[in-house]
């Protein structure tokens, strides 16, 4: 069957246009090369993409060819004459100068300058314009002042009520702990003396036990001591390194703590005396429970892993009342990122990392390392929720596949297939035909189907039509379509083809070496950003909450969550498997090696970030093995350091030995850490018990399976299909 002819017109679909440009540009350069070789012609080609990127080809020297063209007899007479384009540009330039001068003159008139040349009619017209502007300005200003006054009145009433309640609690605590006020000193005077310190800035480094009562500020202090924060709207971004407790009603508690801290944030910062410190610590827990645990919620989310934080953000945007709790004192759950000290403490106990590895704070080591497909589901969720404004991404340098003991770049288009050393000459031609079919396939265009109904025939049948070899099928299915195993071969081919198109479109999007992007400073930024989204839309967050026991009624439906003796009621509970261990089953284990290196993965073109997939058949395994590497280029390690991960499903009794094929590809490593964790899937019926449990993270180094789990839970709870038909150009990755 011959290929169909396409209509020569601008391609509206951005991704398709980028793919077509990339493909046809290579074809154009190839034809130029053939023409110069066959006919001994001197050729120079210059191409600018729609984004302004320059591509050029010359079989000799670009400068010499251009100079030869200028010196050609047909062009000599025109060298000294301005071109028509320059003449037109000159006219436009003159017109713009006149327009700018006119607008500047009007602006000066609006400011009351240079009015002498205006007649009476022009002055009256100017007066009306200024009067209208002034009237609108006064109305807007008046409305804002009234709103400010109303808000301040409400806040004043709330502060008076809060002040009275706190006075009563302080007095009862003083009485219970045996503290007595000095003769003639009232509780009011004590509060006055404390508040008189309000002009002092409490943002200093402290080496001892300290506490602050802040009334609305942004307590960004570095502390090495015991502190505690209760936040009711602030943004407590402090550098700490250990146990912290936060209650946030709208804030964004991004902390790296070194100690145990507690803050009550209600307004302007007020430093507390040491005498009040013990009193504040005595009732901060009472205030935490008083504020949050006596309400009804639509959804309570347990755990701050990426899946849970995405769902919390989506539910809040949809207008649901959400309470998000975590037994840990940090965000991220299993998908958190650790600095070097935390990594050492987790895997080496109390050992101190060697100074040769660099500063601890410059490390952001992901515990669940994964890249993001540029046109994939997670990017669509990020754009759908506008979380991209909180994050910065960078393109990943390379995508590779392991074949017969060597590492090769993954070919994703017909042009790359012809160049790839992965295949022999005849196999390249067969693979090229298959790639062309995939690139041209459109689900709604029967002409592109070549008589194949991909909803009925299997992927194996489609591949057999093109006669591809087993090694080619291996890298296509696992490194392009990103399937976990070979079960896809006996399933309808539509999903297989869509996955390949997603890979190719993502690769063309940033015209880099891979279809992946990755956030600067590591993946812990993702759950924190979705937590901020939830808080902006009214979500309530509580960290460091012990137990978090799910409560059930007589029929077995979840009705709330209890922590520290208080119960928050809800209609539905979302959690990771660790919160409801009796409703999940173990389906396997994941083994992972975390390696700190001083060089990139060998034979990856010195890529600062890369993925290498080792297909199951190449290793004689039942599932794939994955290599993930990132570095200082993504701000996850100090200058010159690389973080590499080797991950695989456990298939034997010796997980560390299983990872050796991947570790051997890394070359010398400075440090290596091993970790094995269980993988769980829910066994409950969600509609029967109102418990929606996410699955554990798999060994893959991409987020597509993660997003599928999130979308499924979202649809189960809301009864809606998440609309991910977004403008992918709304997000971009940073250049090198």
Residue-wise DSSP of 421-485: TTS-HHHHHHHHHHHHHHHH--TT-GGGGTT--TTTSBHHHHHHHHT--HHHHHHIIIIIS--SS
* pLDDT-above-90 percentage for the chain: 32
Listed residue (370, 605, 375) closest to 504, CA to CA:
375
**Dihedral-angle region of residue 209 (phi above 0 means left; psi in -120 to 50 means alpha; beta otherwise):** beta
**Is residue 297 pLDDT above 70, yes or no?**
yes
Got the DSSP string for 76-142? HTTTTSPPHHHHHHHHHHHHHHHHHHHHHHHHHHHTT-S-TT--HHHHHHHHHHHHHHHHHHHHHHH
**pLDDT higher for 501 or 167?**
501
- For residue 597, give Cα distances in angstroms to 610, 644, 669, 723: 14, 7, 5, 41
Q: Which long-range contacts (CB under 8 A, 24 or more apart) does 162-168 make?
A: 162/266, 163/191, 167/191
State pLDDT tens for residues 263-293: 333 333 444 444 444 444 444 444 444 444 5
Q: Could you tell me the two tokens for 214?
A: 């802040």
Phi and psi dihedrals of 347, rounded to 5? -105, -20
75 token code pair: 């062009």
pLDDT at 183: 39
Between residues 41 and 241, the one the model is more confident about: 41
CB atoms within 10 A of CB 713: 22
* Over residues 571-580, mean pLDDT: 93
Question: Is pLDDT at 261 greater than 60 in this prediction?
Answer: no
| Six token digits for residue 494 | 């539509």
CA dist 664 to 401, 543, 564, 595, 659, Å? 15, 40, 49, 12, 9
Out of 34-48, 328-342, 561-575, the most confident range is 561-575
What sections of 556-659 are H helices per DSSP?
A: 616-619, 655-658
User: 418 falls in which pLDDT band (50, 70, 90)?
Assistant: confident
What are 119's two structure tokens? 């007649």
Q: Phi, psi at residue 434, to the nearest 5°?
A: -65, -40
Exposure string of 273-299, with b = 16+ CB inside 10 Å and e = fewer, is: eeebbebbbbbbeebbbeebbeeebbb
Kindly state the tokens that stand for 420.
């790839």
- The answer, yes or no, to whether residue 126 has pLDDT greater than 50, is yes
* Three-state secondary structure call for residue 498: helix
Burial classification of residue 570, based on how many CB atoms lie within 10 Å of its CB (0-12 exposed, 13-18 middle, 19 or more buried) = buried
> What's the rounded Cα separation, in Å, for the pair 590 and 466?
35
Q: What is the DSSP string of 340-357?
A: HHHHHHHHHTTPPPPGGG
Query: Which DSSP state fits 660?
Result: H
Residue from 516, 519, 507 nearest 335 by CA: 519
CA 650 – CA 257 distance, rounded (Å): 35
- Angle separating helix axes 84-110 and 120-177, nearest 10 degrees: 70
DSSP, collapsed to helix, strand or coil, labels residue 394 as strand
Enter the DSSP assignment of 684: S
Distance CA 270, CA 200 (A): 8
Q: How far apart are CA 735 and CA 72, in angstroms?
A: 40
pLDDT tens per residue across span 129-157: 888 888 788 878 877 888 888 888 888 88
- The 3-class secondary structure across 524-564, one letter per residue, is CHHHHHHHHHHHHCCCEEECCCCCCEEEECCCCCEEEEEEC
Residue 489 has what pLDDT?
A: 92
Distance from C-alpha of 241 to C-alpha of 305, rounded to nearest angstrom: 19
With beta carbons less than 8 A apart as the criterion, state whether 229 and 280 touch.
Answer: no
What is the mean predicted confidence (pLDDT) over 323-339? 86
- pLDDT surpasses 80 at 75: no
Q: What pLDDT was estimated at residue 564?
A: 85
| Per-residue tokens: 338 | 């650790």
Per-residue confidence (pLDDT) for residue 340, from 0 to 100: 93
Enumerate residues 6+ apart whose C-beta is below 8 A from 634. 394, 518, 519, 520, 521, 522, 608, 609
**pLDDT for position 53:** 83
**Closest to 522 (Cα-Cα) out of 442, 407, 631, 448:** 631
Residue-wise pLDDT tens digits, 457-473:
999 999 999 999 988 89
* Partners of 519 in the β-ladder: 393
Residue labelled with tokens 């984004």: 51
The helix (H) or strand (E) run that includes residue 626 is strand 625-631
Asked if 454 contacts 462 with a C-beta cutoff of 8 angstroms, the reply is: yes
> What is the b/e burial string over 28-54, where b = at least 16 CB atoms within 10 angstroms of the residue's CB?
ebeebeeebeeeeeebbbeeeeeeeee
Q: Above 70 in pLDDT, residue 649?
A: yes
Report pLDDT digits (tens) over 181-230. Answer: 343 444 343 333 333 333 334 334 444 333 333 333 333 333 333 333 33
Q: What is the mean pLDDT of the chain?
A: 79
Query: Of all residues in the chain, what percent carry a pLDDT higher than 70?
Result: 78
Query: Greater confidence, 589 or 87?
Result: 589
For residues 572-595, average pLDDT: 94
Give the model confidence (pLDDT) of 105-120 as tens digits.
Answer: 888 788 787 787 788 8
């Amino acid at each position: 069957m011959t290929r169909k002819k396409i209509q020569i017109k601008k391609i509206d679909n951005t991704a398709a246009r980028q793919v077509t440009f990339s493909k046809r540009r290579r074809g154009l350069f190839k034809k130029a090369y053939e023409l110069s070789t066959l006919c001994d012609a001197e050729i120079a080609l210059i191409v600018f993409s729609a984004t302004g990127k320059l591509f050029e080809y010359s079989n000799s020297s670009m400068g010499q060819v251009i100079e030869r063209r200028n010196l050609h007899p047909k062009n000599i007479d025109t060298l000294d004459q301005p071109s028509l384009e320059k003449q037109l540009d000159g006219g436009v330039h003159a017109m713009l100068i006149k327009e700018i001068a006119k607008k500047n003159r009007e602006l000066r008139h609006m400011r009351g300058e240079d009015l002498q040349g205006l007649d009476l009619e022009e002055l009256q017209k100017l007066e009306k314009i200024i009067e209208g502007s002034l009237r609108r300005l006064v109305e807007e200003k008046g409305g804002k002042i009234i709103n400010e006054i109303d808000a301040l009145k409400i806040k004043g009433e709330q502060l008076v009520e809060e002040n009275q309640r706190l006075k009563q609690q302080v007095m009862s605590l003083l009485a219970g702990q045996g503290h007595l006020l000095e003769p003639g000193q009232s509780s009011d005077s004590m509060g006055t003396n404390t508040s008189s310190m309000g002009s002092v800035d409490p943002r200093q480094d402290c080496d001892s036990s300290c506490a602050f009562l802040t009334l609305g500020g942004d307590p960004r202090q570095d502390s090495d001591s015991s502190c505690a924060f209760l936040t009711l709207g602030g943004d407590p971004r402090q550098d700490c390194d250990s146990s912290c407790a936060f209650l946030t009603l709208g804030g964004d508690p991004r902390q790296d703590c070194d100690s145990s801290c507690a803050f009550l944030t209600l307004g302007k910062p007020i430093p507390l005396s040491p005498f009040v410190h013990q009193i504040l610590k005595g009732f901060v827990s009472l205030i935490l429970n008083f504020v949050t645990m006596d309400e009804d919620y639509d959804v309570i989310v347990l755990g701050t892993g990426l899946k849970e934080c995405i769902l919390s953000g989506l539910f809040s945007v949809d207008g649901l009342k959400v309470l998000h709790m975590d037994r840990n004192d940090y965000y991220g759950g299993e998908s958190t990122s650790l600095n070097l000290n935390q990594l050492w403490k987790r895997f080496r106990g109390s050992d101190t990392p060697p100074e040769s590895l660099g500063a601890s704070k410059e490390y952001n080591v992901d515990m669940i390392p994964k890249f993001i497909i540029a046109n994939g589901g997670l990017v669509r969720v990020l754009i759908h929720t506008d979380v991209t404004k909180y994050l910065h991404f960078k393109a990943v340098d390379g995508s590779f596949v392991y074949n017969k003991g060597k590492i090769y770049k993954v070919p994703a288009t017909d042009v790359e297939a012809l160049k790839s050393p992965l295949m022999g000459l005849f196999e390249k031609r067969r693979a090229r035909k298959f790639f062309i079919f995939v690139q041209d396939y459109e689900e709604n265009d029967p002409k592109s189907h070549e008589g194949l109904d991909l909803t009925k025939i299997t992927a194996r049948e489609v591949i057999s039509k093109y006669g591809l070899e087993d090694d080619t099928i291996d890298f296509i299915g696992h490194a392009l379509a990103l399937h976990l195993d070979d079960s896809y071969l006996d399933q309808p081919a539509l999903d297989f083809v869509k996955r390949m198109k997603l890979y190719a479109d993502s690769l063309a999007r940033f015209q880099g070496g891979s279809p992946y992007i990755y956030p600067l400073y590591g993946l812990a930024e993702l759950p924190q950003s979705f937590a901020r989204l939830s808080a902006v839309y009214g979500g309530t967050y509580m960290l460091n909450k012990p137990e978090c026991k799910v409560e059930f009624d007589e029929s077995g439906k979840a009705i709330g969550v209890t922590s520290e003796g208080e119960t928050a009621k809800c209609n539905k509970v979302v959690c990771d498997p660790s919160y409801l261990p009796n409703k999940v089953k173990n389906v396997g284990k994941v083994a992972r090696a975390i390696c700190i290196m001083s060089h990139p993965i060998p034979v990856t073109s010195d890529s600062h970030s890369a993925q290498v997939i080792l297909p199951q058949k190449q290793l004689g395994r039942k599932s794939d093995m994955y290599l993930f590497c990132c570095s200082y280029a993504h701000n996850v390690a100090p200058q010159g350091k690389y973080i590499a991960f080797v991950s695989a499903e456990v298939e034997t009794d010796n997980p560390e030995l299983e990872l050796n094929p991947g570790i051997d590809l890394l070359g010398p490593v400075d440090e290596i850490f091993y970790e094995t964790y269980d993988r769980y899937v829910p066994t409950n019926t969600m509609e029967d018990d109102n418990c929606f449990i996410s699955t554990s993270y798999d060994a893959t180094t991409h987020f597509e399976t993660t997003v599928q789990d999130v979308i499924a839970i979202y649809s189960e709870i809301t009864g809606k299909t998440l609309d991910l038909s977004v403008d992918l150009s709304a997000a971009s990755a940073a250049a090198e």
